[in-house]
Structure 1
Amino acid sequence: MKSFPSHVFCCVFFAVAVSAIDLRKAGVPYRRQTDNFVAFSVGLDSNVNLAQNATVKYNVIWTNKGNGYDSSTGVFTCPQAGLYTFIYHGISETAGTMNLDVYKNDQYQIGTYAHNANDYASASNSITLSLQNGDRVYIKGHGTSVLYGRADEVYSTFSGFLLVPHGDR
């Protein structure tokens, strides 16, 4: 008979024990997915000149549940108050700098920076924000490079989703 280390049995027992718990009885709120769920995921399939210091208009839309993201402006407008998580990534062309900054209602929140003299440079960041209906979140780019994008190489992305609606505990 094969012998297993004791930590294997602990892990198996823990996994079985956790799966047997009714999370609602344990005080964890339970909420079904509803029509109020909000999520978007977008990307770039063409280059954006960062020297223009403009809002990045991501033109490839994979998901836009809740219709909060507007590809003509590059702005996510909050359709339902709550806590939202935003994640973004950018890759720049060679020999330049790339700055990508997240703004909420025209106020700087967080940023990224990348530089590489002889190759592509990339940067990513994420943030969780409390939003009210109508709040706007978007990314502005600046620097001396080009935010890279091609139809067959979509590396620059922006995503966000409703984590918890306001009022839920």
Structure 2
Amino acid sequence: MSLLNGPVKDTPIAFTAGMTSASSSWEGDILVFPHVITNKGHGYSSSSGKFTAPRDGTYVFTVTGVSSYSKFLCLDIVHDGLRKVRTYSSDSARYQTGTNLVVLELDRGDAVWVKRFMGQGYHTNSVPMTTFSGFIL
């Protein structure tokens, strides 16, 4: 199959995006990761924060959230509006990390993103600590 007819089955699809500036007061809906490290297949949008599957397949997604100073944060990986897994970063210490991973069957055009469930703020620095990644198996 050529690129003119659609995505080639063996074309790599993988992305990692992160935050490079912290926010102690963020209470938004979708967490948009503007710093793109890798975006093979161009499925991740740094303007919407959503990954859109370029083709059908089994995908792996992971999110890591670092809570802001002495605050808690819960983030969900969402597939087309349905929450699939959740992270929890405790407020019991200065900065805490929550992470989770999910394997999803996606159809071409399905969307996956990170959404806040509870809490506020996230921590990071110029080298991303709060990140969102995914790839096709």
TM-score range, shorter chain: 0.7 to 0.9
Match of residue 39, structure 2, among 60, 64, 74: 64
> Shift of the alpha carbon at 1:90?
1.1
Q: Distance in 2 between matches of 1:120 and 1:43?
A: 17
Query: Which 5+ residue runs of structure 2 have no aligned equivalent?
Result: 1-7
Provide the rounded CA distance (Å) in 2 between the counterparts of 1:144 and 1:99: 6
The normalised TM-score by structure 2 is 0.86
Q: Which runs of 5+ in 1 are unaligned?
A: 1-32, 164-169
Instruction: Specify which of 143, 153, 161 is matched with residue 135 of structure 2.
Output: 161
User: Does structure 2 retain, via aligned residues, the 8 Å contact 1:50–1:143?
Assistant: no
Question: What is the CA distance between 1:51 and its match in structure 2?
Answer: 5.2
Which of the numbers 103, 106, 123 marks the counterpart of 2:98?
123
**For the residues of structure 1 that align with 2:69 and 2:92, how far apart are their CA atoms?**
7
CA contact (8 A) 2:52 2:111 kept: yes
For 1:66 and 1:72, locate their aligned partners in 2 and report how far apart those are by CA, in whole Å.
16
1:99 aligns with 2:74: yes
Partners of 1:50 and 1:138 in 2: how far apart? 20
State how far apart, in whole Å, the 2-side matches of 1:105 and 1:143 are.
Answer: 19
Q: Is the 2:65–2:99 contact (alpha carbons within 8 Å) kept by the matching residues of 1?
A: yes
Q: Which amino acid aligns with 1:147?
A: Y
Residue among 35, 38, 42 paired with 2:17? 42
- Normalised TM-score (structure 1): 0.71
Tell whether the 8 Å contact from 2:23 to 2:68 is kept in structure 1 after alignment: no
- Which secondary structure state, in structure 2, belongs to the residue aligned with residue 47 of structure 1? coil
Distance in 2 (CA, whole Å) between partners of 1:87 and 1:115 is 18
- Report what 2:50 is aligned to: 75
Structure richer in helix, relative to its length: 1
The aligned amino acid for 1:92 is S
| Equivalent AA in structure 1 for residue 51 of structure 2 | F
Greater radius of gyration (CA)? 1
Give me the identity figure in percent: 31
What RMSD, in angstroms, separates the aligned Cα atoms of the two structures? Answer: 1.9
Question: What count of residue pairs does the alignment treat as equivalent?
Answer: 130
Q: Match for 2:54: what amino acid? A: P
Aligned 8 A contact 2:57 2:107 in 1 = yes
